Amino acid sequence: MHEDWVEAAVAGTDHEVTGPPVLHRSRPWADVYRVPTRGEPLWLKVMRPQVAFEAGVYEVFARVRPGGVLLPVAVDRGRGLLLLPHAEPLRPVDLAAVLPVYAELQRALVPHVGALLATGVEDMRAEVMPRRFAEARERIGTTPELDALEPAYARWCEELADSPVPASLDHNDLHDNNFINGINGINGTAGPAFYDWGDSVVAHPFASLLWPLVFLAPDHPRRARAAYLEAFTDLAPRARLERDADLALKVSRVARALVWLRAVGDSGLHGDAPARTLRSVLDER
């Protein structure tokens, strides 16, 4: 699978490929192949069209903030190919230490939101989310309770759109398997880095808290949330940041439902994840 491209991609590098790529994992959104080398393996990600924008996201990272993310060895945007180096998961994970590093990465990307949208990253900013809520109910399925929530959801979006914190990239799948040992994007030293951006969207930055602080139900979530918000205290008083975080956690559930739908389509994998995630917005009433 794409052997010639891999060979050409590693030519002139320290990576010496010793065999063909071997399928490691197949999902509706991408296939991942292990590429054996004389050292650590490389990882070939063959993306389906719905997530092929990820290749362009890495190109933005390379220009803006190469530290803090796992940069590919090679990218082919036209064919949706990523060749990634091997990296070990970050263990143990202390969210109160990891999330501020992620916040600084988000802040560095704020001036480049237009470039991110141009790669094909979906727009989930607060001002478009009332329309996306209607889209989600139409495509995923609705209930009388979801339909009745529409006015309140629109009010949440309107308030969040007025936030002093500007939109940036939301990883949208920020769990501990996507934290790796890498180069700290703030000071260039060893530290946490982030990868697997195929679920990312442009949104209010605080939407990123949904996975690590709600879905994963970590120990000490308030400490982790406070550490993350500290990176934005030059933009607004703490009370306003806390309110915006509450709003982003409400609004972002709809975005996450649509991202699930984009990833899995009608494959049946992960069952009712899109519908279950969409219905979870009712918990925020």
Q: What are the domain boundaries of the chain?
A: 3-84, 95-284
What is the 8-class DSSP label of residue 30? E
Residue carrying the six token digits 């990833």: 263
The conformation of residue 233, written as its DSSP 8-state character, comes to T
The answer for residues whose C-beta is within 8 angstroms of residue 207's C-beta and 6 or more apart is 124, 170, 172, 201, 248, 249, 251, 252, 255
Q: 3-84 has which fold? A: Phosphorylase Kinase; domain 1 (3.30.200)
The tokens for 170 are 């939301």
Q: What is the C-alpha radius of gyration for the chain, rounded to an integer number of angstroms? A: 19
* pLDDT score of 284: 83
SS3 category, 264: helix
DSSP track, 45-63: EEE-GGGTTHHHHHHHHHH
Task: List alpha helices for 78-128, DSSP H.
Answer: 95-109, 113-118
Instruction: With a cut of 70, list the residues of the chain below it in pLDDT.
Output: 1, 182-190
H/E segment holding residue 242: helix 238-264
pLDDT of residue 176: 84
Tokens of 219: 């120990």
Structure confidence at residue 185 (pLDDT): 46
- Of 23, 20, 6, give the one whose Cα is nearest residue 83: 6
pTM summary value = 0.94
pLDDT computed for residue 152 by the predictor: 97
User: For 95-284, CATH number?
Assistant: 3.90.1200
pLDDT at 191: 74
The pLDDT score that the predictor gives to residue 218 is: 73
pLDDT of residue 188: 52
Contact call for residues 192 and 90 (beta carbons, < 8 A): yes
pLDDT of residue 123: 98
By C-alpha distance, which of 157, 148, 99 is closest to 124? 157
Using an 8 Å Cβ cutoff, are 201 and 280 in contact? no
pLDDT of residue 240: 98
